[in-house]
Amino acid sequence: MSSPTTTRPASDAARVAQAAREVVEAHDPLSVPREELFGALYDAGLAWVHHPEGLGGLGLSRGLQPVVDQIVTDAGGERMFAVNPIGYGMGAPTVVEYGQDRDQVGAWLRPMATGEEIWCQLFSEPGAGSDVAGLATSAVRDGDEWVVNGQKVWTTLAHVARWGMLVARTDPEQPKHRGLTYFVIDMTQPGVDVRPLRQMTGQAEFNEVHLHDARVLDAHRLGEVGAGWKVAITTLMNERTAIGGVTGRRGSGVIGEALGLWRAHPDRHTPVLRDRLAALWTRAETHRLTLARARRTASAGQPGPEGSVSKLVGAELNQDVYEFCMDLLGPDALLYDDWTMDRGRVHTDPNSTVQQRFLRSRANTIEGGTSEVMRNILGERVLGLPGEPRSDSDRPWKEVPRG
């Protein structure tokens, strides 16, 4: 369902900017509900400008989306990604690319854009984390439906999600990458049991999900039966690009937080901390410029393996910046405001403390693919290095030993 995009002419940039300004003028982010603003952006084709018209887009370059985001945030609004990160960043491109019915895709996209329906990603399992293709959750055809049984884990936002992107095994006779099928499952139906996994931040943002005879309409299948790995790659590539960070202004983002903290505590400045901050600022600026260049290069199509660069670098940079912040705070770094379970907040919550963000950053090098997996992807798919030996690529999944 995706439409081809072209390079970015100045007239398109001006058109997008003008449309975004008109939306925020008519729907002031500081005075209207978030859903109203985001709905107006969707209707104007500004939710995902690279989507086809009528599906939240204008059929333009992906590289124009930051124009919209900047105008909205400058007016006091939020980024859609912060409200519904998995739906906005990973679900949308997947359903547009592989959805069977345009009306169904549209019915998913608008509440996804407004944040009224949160999405989650049902990939990882207790026995298949980094090796997603080795998953064991099964889906068996029953007329116009599929019956799903299995367990997923580390499912972000499953506790508030309306829809889940599910990869399940539909043919155990095939090798692990060829026996998978991709579905969109209703998370509120009987047979879907969501259990929280409490984190050291005090929140329970991740969950384990048990599926017992849960049903999925075949009309909610994305892609062909048995081609789920191909669809999953679309989700994963978009996930890594989204997690890698947003191209902002110089000195913005996490390094901006470190700079603000530095200015607020002049009594704690030391030459060593000053040198660390300068080095972090240089890394952050290099990452920002590299990400901007990569996004312009990839703006005409789906993200490729290069998105793993931004994910890898951004994750490790986040951790190092927050370690610096904690060192700068000194004994105050040990103070936390609340250890109660607050399952309503997500890790992008602007009201979280530096201490909470430091703890949350420990997950950055695990979620969306570990740093080790990212380095393998970059080595094999970008640098062309030999892949790791794999003994199970051509064996039927049911014959592969599992722990």
Nearest of 130, 230, 218 to residue 179 by alpha carbon: 230
239 is catalytic: yes
Q: How far apart are CA 165 and CA 287, in angstroms?
A: 30
- DSSP class of residue 394 equals S
Query: How much of the chain is helix, strand and coil, in % rounded to 5?
Result: 45, 15, 40
Nearest of 48, 44, 78, 77 to residue 65 by alpha carbon: 48
Place of tokens 């009224």: 116
Q: How far apart are CA 119 and CA 108, in angstroms?
A: 10
- HSE at residue 105, side-chain half, CA atoms within 13 A, is 23
Of 117, 125, 205, 239, the active-site residue reads 239
Q: Please name the amino acid found at residue 214.
A: A
Task: Take residue 111 and report the two structure tokens written for it.
Answer: 């509440």
Q: Please name the amino acid found at residue 130.
A: S
Helices marked H in 154-270 — which ranges?
228-243, 254-264
* C-beta separation of 381 from 309 below 8 A: no
Q: How far apart are CA 382 and CA 385, in angstroms?
A: 8
- DSSP class of residue 84 equals S
Dihedral pair phi/psi, residue 57, rounded to 5°: -135, 180
Catalytic residues: 239
